[in-house]
Amino acid sequence: MTRCAGARSSRTRTRCSSPGTRNTRARYLKLVFDGHTGRLLGAQLAGLDAAQLTAPLALAMHAGLGARQLTESAFPHPMVSEGINKAARSVLS
């Protein structure tokens, strides 16, 4: 079980989420958003399948997406990329 604490500062909001699907081997996903604009600034990933998340996260950063746009995007189930949606939802809640 992955445990992590989201740190908050005036500049950034961070949240982390374990993807939580049965068939996934990625164990840690942390998304970092700008506290003022809400844009995705970066991510930290760990796990055997974590490399599969690099391209969609890089695309989201390039497009300037925020947590709300990530939660409105389609991520297939059960896939490792589903963790992106879950981590973005945790920022909005």
Tens digits of per-residue pLDDT, 1-50?
A: 333 334 444 455 555 554 444 444 547 889 999 888 889 999 998 888 88
Q: Which amino acids are annotated catalytic?
A: 77
- The answer to whether 58 and 40 have CB atoms below 8 angstroms apart is no
Domain 12-92: state its class: alpha beta
Task: Evaluate if pTM is beyond 0.75.
Answer: no
* pLDDT tens track for 51-67: 889 999 999 999 999 99
Is residue 60 a contact partner of residue 40, using CB atoms and an 8 Å limit?
yes
- Percent of the chain topping pLDDT 90: 37
**Domain residue spans in the chain?**
12-92
